[in-house]
Structure 1
Amino acid sequence: MSQTAVPPQSASTPDPQLLGKAAVDPAVSEAGRLLCAGTYLDPRFRDRVIDELYVHDERVAAPSYGIDAARVLGHALRARRGELAWSAAVVAVWVSAAWATGGWFPTRFLLPCLLLSAAAWAVRATRGAPVLRAPARLLQLYARLLMGALLLTTAMAPLIRAKESLLDSWFVDSLHWSVRTLDLQFRLLPLDWQYKLYFDPGDDTWLQSPYMSLGLLLVLAVLVGLRHERTARTMSGPLSPEHYADLARDPAERSPGPRLRLVRELIRGEQHWPVVMYATANPFCGAGMPFRPWHLSVELRPRTDIGPEGPHAVGNEEILRRVLPLVEALRVPSAHGTPQVAAAVLDRLRELVVDECVFLPVKGLRRREDVPVGADEFEEHRAGAIEEGGEKRRHFLRIRVGGWDEGIVVTVFVRVHTQGGMLMLEVAPHVLRPVRRSFQEADDTAQCFGRDNAVALSLRALANAPQALVVAVAALARGLVSGWRAVTAVSDRARPTGPEAAVRELGADPDASLFQAMDVDRYLKTIQDRVARGVQLALYEAGWQTAEFEQKAVTLGQGAVYIQSVHNSAVGIGDSNTVSASTGAAGGEKEPKRAKT
């Protein structure tokens, strides 16, 4: 095993700043702020959060590493209330327009609005498929030309009825040709409807005036602009980096209903507690994706150089007790000459968090309020689980590092068990990937909205107004489905179940930058080396051989674990690993170089 030099710690009380820094409060973390912003930007993400935490309130909350899931839920509900109010206003405008114009407005503009919405969806869906992207762009071009022709004929209808000579000649003919060419429903309508809808506004009442139709489109554009303005105001207000830390000013935390208040209290009692209630299908829900988990199993053999007394028994707690100080020492900066320079080190390992947790199956729990969230209950489970090596109740040493403002969270679960003269070491690293890039751009979107002038904002709202109906109907449908589930699918007598999804995982991006990937590797290799080193020292101090432990390397997936010693080494590389070991001088066990603690 590689000899890791642990920074020495003097007997006197050291400067607390040199021992480590407090981890970021999950309630005010940057990752949590971006996830709250994501509830206003992505309706699917918002609906998944509400469904997991609010609709299915029988599900125990998954661990929330680096965020406060209750705060994200509050903003998700607030964003949905605002979207439902906006959607109802949009649908009301269309219904009022249909009634006021005798069906003239929707018959004329419904098809191009639907086509524009379909084209926008197709362009987004084919972003990664160049072959399909061209037809989507053609559909978008066709929809825009059709909408332009209809708007032009609507605006020119009074002039056409005036039968001016210029319009009677070439202009009217060109309008007839454009409509017949572009509008598919033009050919399906009777002749009298064709003329009435496209070239004759009908009666001279103000309700059937073509300018009334243009006014209704302007009203829709105003609603779209107000929606964008509200989102931008939220991003620059309560969700801005300057104001997010002030929980008292957060509008999502004010005046919650009794059900939301209860759910929020349950989430905040469960999400950061060391007792993890899990579903069997996904016990590590919330920790992210597994990242090259590995395990070792070695036979415990007495050393030949310890004399007649022989080795003493080594338990799981004793081994973890030896691992703990080596891992915690990663918080200490390397020597930098002066304490001031050392205190200025920003390495995220200084905020490393180490604790013990117990995994319990949620099956069999009668009420969600019965989740053990008391200190005495946790200590009882910890004391019972650390040595028992059970299948369902499992004890882990949990080591967590949050980097990139909690955008990258590395969690390493370590479990040690001795049985039948064998030692089993299980290491299960998990990685939470960065928050979605679209969420990270929320601040830029708000700033662009604030910098744009009135002309730019108006043009953008006018361009998005035709798509407002589809967006509104979809939002109302989602709200109806969610409300129906909340009323029918949840019962106070329903038995608790384990989490099916975690807020932090739902808002994660599938990709990470090269710098972030390098940091993940660095955190994992450093932690794993200290864990292996601690186990080796515990075995040696108890009088057991460590050569076999030093030589073994187990690889899973595409990763490899490298354990090296001055005397013995083994390494596995690549997918189809070939493990080779070189052994030093034969003979009895040699004492490993001890880390300074």
Structure 2
Amino acid sequence: MAQSRTVGPENSAGTVIPKATRYLCAGVYLDREFREMVIRRVYNDSHHMVAPSYGFDLVPVVAHAWRAWRLDTIGSALVIIVLLGSLAWAPAAATVAAALFALCWSATVAVRNALIAVPLKAKERADRFFHRARWGSESRDLAVHLRALKLACVSSGVLVLAVPMISSATGVPLVSLLQQAAIMGMSVVLVVCGCAAARRHALHQTAKGRLPAPDSRRYRTIDEQQRHTFVIYSRPAKKEPAPGDFRDILAFDDSHKPFVGAGRLIHRWNPPLNIHLLQFGEGSMAAREFDPLPFQAHELVAYLKKEMRRLDGQDDATSLPGFGMSDRIYVAEADVDGRRDWLQGERAEHEIEDIIDRPFDRFHHFLEIRSSVSGELVTTVFLRITVKGRALSLDFAACALTRTPDEYHVLDEYGEDGPTALLRAAVRALVELPADIMQAWRLFRVPSVLLGACRARRTRIHYPKRGVKIGPKLSVREEKRVSWESAQLDRTLISDHVKLIEDRLLKAATDFLREHKVDISEFEERATSIINTGIMNFGESINVNNSAVGANAMRLDLPESFGQSSGGHA
């Protein structure tokens, strides 16, 4: 398997780290839901295979997810311990401290809403004075923020009055009560700031390329499965569109594509390119057919590999950035039987060639060719070559992974490193403390997470169990990618790489057929048609609004809520 070249800093071993790996490692610190998904549905799920990794390494992402989870869990546990200890030591002072924290939070909410509501209120007054039309959305936004501002001000006033009332009810002097509350508050502040600084420091390690290299049975299994030659995919469930629902009929759905983890299916030859293997000359088809056939399918695959490797090994315009090439063998989840020795270890070259030459087997071989721009934008081309019915069949598909979310790129931005970044992280943690305390119920899930991690040490996909499927359930990289509609200029880069690979494959196949004395006139005609057609199918959905279809025209009415959410003139 050819290794792809990626851009980014180097780790201690001198290996270049893909940008997507660093950004996903940062994401597990910044996104709690993403972190828990990685732990629960990747590390702890040993009943299913791990999806192939394209343009990133999954092992450091999982390791950082566990590190972030430990820091978050320890921080939450320490805060709860301090609060419960304070409540047991001095209940009145603990109540006052809680009231003061709630007061700070209410004041923060009031300031945030005031910064939005005051300009909107001023604009409303100006619109009324000049008799200007107003958008309904502006009036609704103003009402929402004014309501939140009033509630925050009222709650702040109640909390201010609560402190002397607690002092009067308990008989403890106000000064002494405030001193005890200050001690408790400082303890909570130190714990929260210390944990926030530790999380931010760990986050900075990803920016410097200091990724962990864990060595355990589960991590080795994840690494083996993400690079494995065999990929298990799920066939789509048979689902008929609702009668008269043209949106379902016209929508493009690639959620059940066989190329797990490769991203969105953007281009495919439909139907595949098929040509009869005939000799040069005149006469009937039967007279011109080869007997025996001039080549086997694996020989053409080997030739294409040799020609495509010319795109690798250079750092200039003669090569593709982030080039990689490998064999992938796909098998449907329903076709996995009790004998699963093929899931353990790598297959020998002659075994892969045997699979290539068996077109009607449950195993489907694809030649996989990858390119990556800036370490994030990954384009993957899949080509299946079969010889059947005395004809050559080429099945071509292209998938694309768009960039990771922009919020995961925070460490590449200016001023997001150093002591000031740690200080800002501590301040944000204090602001978010009330919300984090409300999330303390997550501590009850700690035993189940740890139990799942212990159970995951044993790889269970090798042991058949009735009714249990072992195909991948999700791809971390596919879950965290910007939408195809937001790719914008990246689409041009993707289509350019797809066409470069497509053209080279067709021309190399033409040369191979010519060397084996095959009449290539039909092949050249169809190949030229494919090249000139360009990439037309990007998997876009076709939207038909307020239109009629067919002789007995039926209008596709829009939802009643359409147009109301966008606002209107008052």
From 241, 247, 264, the counterpart of 1:289 = 264
The verdict on how the C-alpha distance between 1:513 and 1:277 changes in structure 2, with shifts beyond 3 A counting, is closer
- Report what 1:431 is aligned to: 400
- Aligned-pair CA distance for 1:427: 1.0
Deviations 1:517-557 (A, max 9, x none): 2221111010011122223333344444444434448xxxx
Asked if 1:268 is matched to 2:240, the reply is no
The verdict on how the C-alpha distance between 1:110 and 1:505 changes in structure 2, with shifts beyond 3 A counting, is same
- Report what 2:35 is aligned to: 46
- Report what 2:383 is aligned to: 414
- Aligned-pair CA distance for 1:202: 2.9
The correspondence of residues 76-475 of structure 1 with structure 2, limited to 5 A, is 76-99=65-88, 100-101=90-91, 104-105=95-96, 108=99, 137-138=145-146, 140-142=148-150, 144-146=152-154, 148-150=156-158, 152-153=160-161, 157=164, 196-197=165-166, 200=168, 202-204=170-172, 209-236=177-204, 238-241=205-208, 243-244=209-210, 250=212, 253=214, 261-280=216-235, 283-295=258-270, 296-300=272-276, 302=278, 304-305=280-281, 311=290, 313-331=294-312, 345=316, 349-361=320-332, 364=336, 371-374=343-346, 377-390=347-360, 392-405=362-375, 407-444=376-413, 447=416, 450-451=419-420, 460-471=428-439, 473-475=440-442
- Asked if 2 retains the 8 angstrom alpha-carbon contact of 1:97 and 1:105, the reply is no
Q: 1:74 & 1:300 partners in 2: Cα distance?
A: 52
Question: Where does structure 1 lack aligned partners over 5 or more consecutive residues?
Answer: 1-19, 123-128, 158-195, 333-342, 554-560, 577-597
Q: 1:280 & 1:368 partners in 2: Cα distance?
A: 19
- Aligned-pair CA distance for 1:151: 5.4
- Aligned-pair CA distance for 1:35: 1.3
Q: 2:74 & 2:172 partners in 1: Cα distance?
A: 34
Q: 1:489 & 1:118 partners in 2: Cα distance?
A: 43
Secondary structure of 1:441 counterpart:
helix
Q: 2:538 & 2:23 partners in 1: Cα distance?
A: 36
The verdict on how the C-alpha distance between 1:112 and 1:500 changes in structure 2, with shifts beyond 3 A counting, is farther
- Asked if 1 retains the 8 angstrom alpha-carbon contact of 2:201 and 2:422, the reply is no
Secondary structure of 1:447 counterpart:
coil
- Aligned-pair CA distance for 1:86: 0.6
Question: Where does structure 2 lack aligned partners over 5 or more consecutive residues?
Answer: 7-13, 114-135, 237-255, 540-570
The verdict on how the C-alpha distance between 1:351 and 1:111 changes in structure 2, with shifts beyond 3 A counting, is closer
- Aligned-pair CA distance for 1:412: 0.8
Q: 2:535 & 2:231 partners in 1: Cα distance?
A: 33
The verdict on how the C-alpha distance between 1:453 and 1:490 changes in structure 2, with shifts beyond 3 A counting, is closer
Letter in 1 for 2:153: L
- Asked if 2 retains the 8 angstrom alpha-carbon contact of 1:280 and 1:361, the reply is yes
- Aligned-pair CA distance for 1:460: 4.3
Q: 1:470 & 1:140 partners in 2: Cα distance?
A: 19
- Asked if 2 retains the 8 angstrom alpha-carbon contact of 1:116 and 1:140, the reply is no
Deviations 1:531-586 (A, max 9, x none): 22223333344444444434448xxxxxxx9625xxxx66785799xxxxxxxxxx
- Asked if 2 retains the 8 angstrom alpha-carbon contact of 1:229 and 1:449, the reply is no
Number of aligned pairs?
473
From 9, 23, 38, the counterpart of 2:5 = 23
Whose radius of gyration is greater, 1 or 2?
Answer: 1
The verdict on how the C-alpha distance between 1:474 and 1:422 changes in structure 2, with shifts beyond 3 A counting, is farther
From 501, 508, 528, the counterpart of 2:474 = 501
- Aligned-pair CA distance for 1:270: 2.2
Of 144-153 and 409-418, more deviation after overlay is shown by 144-153
Q: 2:5 & 2:266 partners in 1: Cα distance?
A: 23
Letter in 2 for 1:528: E
The verdict on how the C-alpha distance between 1:575 and 1:32 changes in structure 2, with shifts beyond 3 A counting, is closer
- Report what 1:74 is aligned to: 63
Secondary structure of 1:70 counterpart:
helix
- Report what 1:34 is aligned to: 23
- Asked if 2 retains the 8 angstrom alpha-carbon contact of 1:65 and 1:272, the reply is no
- Aligned-pair CA distance for 1:398: 0.9
The verdict on how the C-alpha distance between 1:83 and 1:133 changes in structure 2, with shifts beyond 3 A counting, is farther
- Report what 1:528 is aligned to: 502
Q: 1:379 & 1:119 partners in 2: Cα distance?
A: 68
Deviations 1:383-420 (A, max 9, x none): 22101113520111110112212x01111110012222
- Asked if 2 retains the 8 angstrom alpha-carbon contact of 1:320 and 1:416, the reply is yes
The verdict on how the C-alpha distance between 1:134 and 1:389 changes in structure 2, with shifts beyond 3 A counting, is farther
Secondary structure of 1:200 counterpart:
helix
- Aligned-pair CA distance for 1:59: 1.8
Letter in 2 for 1:503: V
Q: 1:309 & 1:531 partners in 2: Cα distance?
A: 26
Q: 2:494 & 2:368 partners in 1: Cα distance?
A: 16
Secondary structure of 2:393 counterpart:
strand
Of 487-496 and 74-83, more deviation after overlay is shown by 487-496
Secondary structure of 2:267 counterpart:
coil
Q: 1:60 & 1:21 partners in 2: Cα distance?
A: 22
- Report what 1:193 is aligned to: none
- Asked if 1 retains the 8 angstrom alpha-carbon contact of 2:43 and 2:218, the reply is yes
- Asked if 2 retains the 8 angstrom alpha-carbon contact of 1:116 and 1:467, the reply is no
Q: 2:366 & 2:331 partners in 1: Cα distance?
A: 11
From 505, 513, 520, the counterpart of 1:539 = 513
The verdict on how the C-alpha distance between 1:85 and 1:570 changes in structure 2, with shifts beyond 3 A counting, is closer
The verdict on how the C-alpha distance between 1:408 and 1:21 changes in structure 2, with shifts beyond 3 A counting, is same
Deviations 1:69-115 (A, max 9, x none): 12211111111111111111122233334443258459857987998
From 483, 490, 494, the counterpart of 1:510 = 483
The verdict on how the C-alpha distance between 1:573 and 1:216 changes in structure 2, with shifts beyond 3 A counting, is same
The verdict on how the C-alpha distance between 1:222 and 1:426 changes in structure 2, with shifts beyond 3 A counting, is same
- Report what 1:60 is aligned to: 49
Letter in 1 for 2:310: A
The verdict on how the C-alpha distance between 1:54 and 1:384 changes in structure 2, with shifts beyond 3 A counting, is same
The verdict on how the C-alpha distance between 1:464 and 1:235 changes in structure 2, with shifts beyond 3 A counting, is same
TM-score w.r.t. length of structure 2: 0.69
Q: 1:369 & 1:113 partners in 2: Cα distance?
A: 61
The verdict on how the C-alpha distance between 1:426 and 1:234 changes in structure 2, with shifts beyond 3 A counting, is same
- Asked if 1 retains the 8 angstrom alpha-carbon contact of 2:221 and 2:459, the reply is no
- Report what 1:192 is aligned to: none
- Aligned-pair CA distance for 1:36: 1.4
Q: 1:94 & 1:364 partners in 2: Cα distance?
A: 53
- Asked if 2 retains the 8 angstrom alpha-carbon contact of 1:275 and 1:360, the reply is yes
Q: 2:110 & 2:268 partners in 1: Cα distance?
A: 44
The verdict on how the C-alpha distance between 1:148 and 1:476 changes in structure 2, with shifts beyond 3 A counting, is same
- Asked if 1 retains the 8 angstrom alpha-carbon contact of 2:39 and 2:65, the reply is yes
Q: 1:504 & 1:147 partners in 2: Cα distance?
A: 43
